[in-house]
Structure 1
Amino acid sequence: MLLSTLSIRLPGCRSSSIRSTGLAAVAILGLLAGCGTARLPAPTPATVTPPVITGELPATPAPLPPSPRQVLQRERSRWVSADWNELPGWGSDRASELWPALLRSCGKPAPGWAETCARAALESPGDDLEAHAWLMRHLQPYRIESLDGQALGLLTGYFEPQLQAQRRPGGAYRIPLHAPPPELAQRRPYFTRAQIDGDAMVRTRLKPWEFGYVDDALDLLVLHIQGSGRVLMQEPDGRQRLLRLAFGGHNEQPYQSVGRWLLERGELRGGDASWPAIRDWARRNPQRLGEMLAANPRYVFFREEPLPDPKLGPRGAQGVALTPGRSIAVDRASLPYGTPVWLDATEPLSNTPLQRLVMAQDTGGAITGAVRADYFWGWGAEAEAQAGRMKQALRLWALWPRGQRPG
């Protein structure tokens, strides 16, 4: 990222202005090197035995041995200490945009984060350069690997569906949204999706728990798969309210991918099981939509919640609101919730680099393994298009407080 004139104030340093035509990372490293209180710890000099000179001096001095790397092992991953210049694209991100998500995670800090979180709240950076410098001063990067040393993994995407609904059935709006019935906790497994959708006796039994109606069964399936969403609800008096549908439980039936069901039957061309491809198949085969939906017996129930800030996503597994473009779901056995992460991948539609700071704030049933993440795109049609096609190669670096061992 090219910079114009930048001003920065680091704790204990004079305010400085930089006119740079190079990378932001160069400016960050220069500031850290030039400020007494912001200096990174110097590496311990290695002891090297001088070579015995028997003739001409060598053209270049013998290289010093590399500094030993710290290797930490978690249940499903290895953390290998790294230098900041090893992070691809470091310095190019809008690092100050991470701060709201970071502070939300600090409301439920991971072990070892209390002091760093207190600093983050008191020393909020004024711009991206200050944010990068703060992170480099207080955190240590670790490359994430599998237990057998594999550093390349998979990045997928998810989003928050946004639907329109009516409080009462009418016209095309006849597909019900269900709150969890009281008997859900006692009867396990509960009725399958096919029974809830097509059995008259089961539908009558669940009638008291219908609280809204949508017009598209495939949209409802997407909502069930994502586990939460937002809905623009039309009330009987004509008013519209934007609400969040939070996960309220499911029927304890196994989840089955409808994309895989279509692939196994040769219904999708070229092996493309993305959501745009599934929607296209459904448009071309409306008479088989019920058959496809029944292939996934899992059914999800929802609870209505207010939506005080439409700019924030649903609560993730950490218990804090997700931030579009700054939150990821991870395997907790690899990365603790509340960990800042440097992500190196590409965007699905443009194939442009996706190198940015994100927070590990969520998880998912399919998100397992060391180098594995699900990127939260937000909500709406564009978020669905990006998330539905995302299946990218991935590398990850965890950023952890200096002097603290990851729990």
Structure 2
Amino acid sequence: MNTLSHRFPPAARWAAVAVAVTWLAGCAVAPPAASPPAATAAAPAPAPASTEAQRPPASGPGAASVAGQARTFSTQLATYTAVGFSTVPGWSRDDFTEGWPAFLGSCKVLTTRGAEWKSVCDRASRIDPKNSTAIRNFFESEFSAYQIRDDDRKPDGVVTGYFEPEINGSRTYQAPYIYPVYGQPEDMLFVDARKLPAGGGTVAARVQGREVVVQTGLSTRDMGAPGLYALNLSSITRDTLDRRVRLRAEGRQLLPYYTREEIETKGAPNARVLAFVDSATALYEMQIQGSGRIRLPSGEVIRVAYAEQNGQPFRPTLAQNKSGKPASQVRTRGGAIELEVDDDEVDDSVAGIRVRGFTLARPVASGAVMVPGRRIAGPVIGSGITDPSYVFFKESVAGTGGPVGAFGVPLSAGRSIAVDPRSTPLGYPVFVSTRAPGTGAPMQRLTIAQDTGGAIRGAVRADYFFGNGTQAATQARRMKERGQLWILLPRGLAVAAAATSSIRTRGGAVGADLPQCLVPVEGQCVDD
């Protein structure tokens, strides 16, 4: 987000969003949510049909991979089990009108994904958007609910939060606005990791526009030929969700794209500077969130969204406790960065940013900012962050809606989530049962999977979009709760293979031949 998306164009945001910071206040994992309270008597909803009536029939020959017919099916990462809507905690109490605009937004994209979605979205357009009961009935009649379990068949996972930050900035380089916000570099090249030979040798490649094409059948002796470049496979990072490796040309070699340190000390002469901001740590946070707003001295607001990422692995070394002990574990969203330490005695703030338990690295002086065509005089204050990953932005249309996520539609505060698109396809409805940050009250509602994140990996994993503003930032930074997920699949939709009768274990051989994606979609989730 994209991002990350973001977002995440959708394919790009996966890797990107690996860079983002929700300076977590709420690092400790909360205990599993208790059983939800009984439904209130106020405004009772019509009782849903019995569980058995809603449960899909036993799967038969050829029916095991069709939603609404298969009782259970699996991918390499997850197992999906059919349930009745009446068994989903909080289903009958949700106000479905709040999430309906987000679902209709997804429909604008989903209608191009097949006949099942087109017919479902056509019928959705005729539903009264102000009638929660009608919307709930629509979902119950058009979809089948499947609980998502991870590859150990555990139902519990983690729900975190992210938001759209705002930073003070300027269009021109002048103190205190000295940290450049870069657009996508013009010299960045791409290669499909799936088309690269295995191993760590050196191969010959050609550059066609922005794409790198490996030339098979050539030896290192041929690499001096016109138009050929040498690519050392041992130097690249292949583990990106979009299967894309980011490169640059230097002489007759193709190298991994510049690291954060290289960009911050030497500048990015092939990238347009969108603006300059007054805080390195706030800029890093915006990179982690995958989008943000830059408020100019005139009051004008520049809205930026994820454009690309440098392809380097996300390895933050941001925090330490009061005794200098580094964080024992760092997980990142592409929307949230979660830092965990074993010691409770910690510093509470630094550089104006409240960070529960952590001291952020202080800025250090470095090189000069590069802008296409000219060098800006004067020192540049680097972030002091050794994380090699770096996010590039693009300007997006300012508006009252949320930032555009990986799915290409604006995010809805309180109803959009970021997911791992391998196990939860983008655009699909997902019911989330977790607890609200701070209060611990049950938070059970229908959301729409519309974003991804570099570290949002795993089947039962969601990153909840809280919106923008101070309250959203506070909630997102505190959000880290146990949760469970149910995906809603249109009846008749072709999905993954049927589950085997064997018990699957993490990393085991069982299920290795299953598809990686629940619903393969080019640019979002692609099976190898």
Q: TM-score, normalised by structure 1?
A: 0.75
Alpha-carbon distance, 1:382 to partner: 2.1
Distance 1:248 1:81 in 2: 37
State the SS of the aligned residue for 2:307. strand
Q: Match of 1:246, as an amino acid?
A: A
For 2:483 and 2:161, locate their aligned partners in 1 and report how far apart those are by CA, in whole Å: 12
Mapping of residues 137-176 of structure 1, within 5 Å: 137-176=141-180
**Alpha-carbon spacing, 1:113–1:270, altered in 2? closer, same or farther (3 Å):** closer
Q: Which structure 2 residues correspond to residues 248-267 of structure 1 after superposition, within 5 A?
A: 248-259=307-318, 265-266=324-325
**Counterpart residue number, 2:260:** 193
Question: What's the counterpart of residue 363 of structure 1?
Answer: 452
Q: Does 1:340 align with 2:429?
A: yes
Query: Which of the residues 327, 338, 362 maps onto 1:288?
Result: 362
Counterpart among 23, 28, 31 of residue 46 in structure 2 = 28
**Would the aligned equivalents of 1:249 and 1:301 in 2 still touch at CA under 8 Å?**
yes
Picking from 379, 393, 400, the partner of 1:302 is: 393
- Which whole-Å CA distance do the structure 2 matches of 1:382 and 1:246 have between them? 21
Contact 1:259–1:278 (8 Å) recurs in 2? no
Q: CA deviation at 1:193?
A: 2.4
Q: Tell me which of the two structures has the higher relative contact order, counting C-alpha pairs closer than 8 angstroms and 6 or more residues apart.
A: 2
Counterpart Cα distance in 1 of 2:90 and 2:393? 41
> Larger deviation: 152-161 or 129-138?
129-138
Q: Distance in 2 between matches of 1:344 and 1:41?
A: 23
Contact 1:261 1:295 in 2 (8 A): no
Decide whether the 8 Å contact of 1:28 with 1:132 is kept in 2.
Answer: no
* Larger helix percent: 1
Alignment RMSD = 3.5
- Name the larger-Rg structure: 1
1:218 deviates by 0.7
CA–CA distance in 2 between the matches of 1:44 and 1:173? 59
Check conservation: 2:184, 2:393, Cα contact below 8 A. Answer: yes
Q: Which residue matches 1:215?
A: 278
Deviation at 1:41, TM superposition (A): 5.5
- How much does 1:190 deviate? 3.3
Q: Separation in 1 of the partners of 2:270 and 2:323?
A: 35
| One-letter amino acid matched to 1:138 | E
C-alpha displacement of 1:349 = 1.7
Distance 1:345 1:147, change over 3 A: same
- The code of the aligned residue for 2:304 comes to L
Residue in 2 aligned with 1:314? Answer: 403
CA 1:262 to 1:248, structure 2 compared with 1: closer, same or farther past 3 Å?
Answer: farther
Show the counterpart of 2:289.
Answer: 226
Map of 1:49 onto structure 2? none
In structure 2, what residue type is equivalent to 1:346? R
Give the number of equivalent residue pairs.
347
Change (3 A) 1:129 1:298: same
Once the two structures are superposed, residues 91-115 of structure 1 have per-residue CA deviations (whole angstroms, 9 ceiling, x without a partner) of 2221111111111111111543221
How far does residue 317 in structure 1 lie from its aligned partner after superposition? 1.8
Deviations 1:129-150 (A, max 9, x none): 2222222222221111123321
Q: Deviations over 1:336-366 (max 9, x none)?
A: 1121111000112221111001001111111
The DSSP-based 3-state class of the residue aligned with 1:229 is: strand
Rate the CA distance shift 1:293–1:357 in 2: closer, same or farther, 3 A. Answer: farther
Q: Tell me the equivalent position of 1:273.
A: 339
The offset of 1:329, in angstroms, is: 1.1
Task: Kindly provide the amino acid, as one letter, of the partner of residue 228 in structure 1.
Answer: S
Describe the shift of the 1:320–1:41 C-alpha distance in structure 2 as closer, same or farther (beyond 3 A). same
Change (3 A) 1:125 1:176: closer
Distance in 1 separating the partners of 2:424 and 2:431? 12
1:178 is the counterpart of 2:197: no
Amino acid at match of 1:230: R
TM-score by length of 2: 0.59
In structure 2, stretches of 5+ residues that fail to align are: 1-38, 59-68, 190-247, 250-254, 331-337, 341-345, 353-357, 365-381, 496-518, 520-528
Give, in whole Å, the separation in 1 of the partners of 2:312 and 2:87. Answer: 45
Q: Deviations over 1:308-357 (max 9, x none)?
A: x32x2222222222111111111122111121111000112221111001
Structure 1 pair 313–140 and aligned structure 2 pair: CA distance change class (3 A): same
1:260 Cα deviation from its structure 2 partner: 6.0
- Given that 1:180 and 1:302 are in contact with CA atoms closer than 8 Å, whether structure 2 keeps it comes out as yes
Distance 1:45 1:154, change over 3 A: closer
SS at match of 2:175: coil
Residues 222, 100 of structure 1: alpha-carbon distance in 2 compared, 3 angstrom cutoff: same
The Cα offsets for residues 269-321 of structure 1, whole Å up to 9 and x where unpaired, read as 999827xx8982455968834497322122222222221x32x2222222222
Contact 1:151 1:395 in 2 (8 A): yes
Partner of 2:489: 400
Q: Deviations over 1:23-80 (max 9, x none)?
A: 65x53227x79xxxxxx9688999xxxxxxxxxxxxxxxxxxxxx9811223421111
Change (3 A) 1:243 1:44: closer
Deviations 1:169-214 (A, max 9, x none): 23322222222332233344333323333x3xx23x6398333211
- Secondary structure, in 3 states, of the residue corresponding to 1:28? coil
- State the alpha-carbon separation in 2 of the partners of residues 278 and 405 from structure 1: 52
1:6-155 paired onto structure 2 within 5 Å: 22=41, 27-29=45-47, 70-109=71-110, 110-111=113-114, 112-155=116-159
Aligned partner of 2:487: which letter? A
Identity %: 34
